[in-house]
Amino acid sequence: MRNVFETVIDVGSGLFISTLIQLFIFLCKYFSFYNTELELGLVTGYSGFDIAPMIRLKKDYWFIAPAYETTGNLGFVIGMEYKL
């Protein structure tokens, strides 16, 4: 029997720039399983929160993450990550 979650001792940090030219700074921990990566961390730059929790599921260049607006709307963000 094998372990599904392989803990990776990697901690990441970086910047997101939105289409509205907003800057988001994040710090996260990576977990890998079945060629997929889960990021858990903290992010700054969102209206309504000085620091917010972050969770993102990545596969190759694609990612999906939960979304929340201060008006109460919930949803998901699906996107493609481009690394410099």
> Tens digits of per-residue pLDDT, 35-59?
899 999 998 877 777 888 889 999 9
33 in any annotated domain: yes
Q: What is the pTM of this model?
A: 0.69
CA dihedral 67, 20, 84, 81 (to 10 degrees): 30
- Asked whether residue 75 is assigned to any structural domain, the reply reads yes
Look at residue 54 and tell me if it is in a domain. yes
What is the Cα–Cα distance from 56 to 15, expressed in whole angstroms?
Answer: 14
Residue ranges making up the domain that contains 49: 6-80
pLDDT digits (tens, 9 = 90+) for 55-74: 999 999 899 998 877 788 88
At residue 70, the 3 state secondary structure works out as coil
Check residue 25 and report its DSSP letter: E
Instruction: Please list, in sequence order, all residues whose beta carbon lies within 8 angstroms of the beta carbon of residue 83, skipping any fewer than 6 positions away.
Output: none
Q: State how many domains the chain has.
A: 1
Q: Which amino acid is at 6?
A: E
Is 1 within a domain? no
Contact 42, 53 (CB under 8 A): yes
In a domain, 26, yes or no: yes
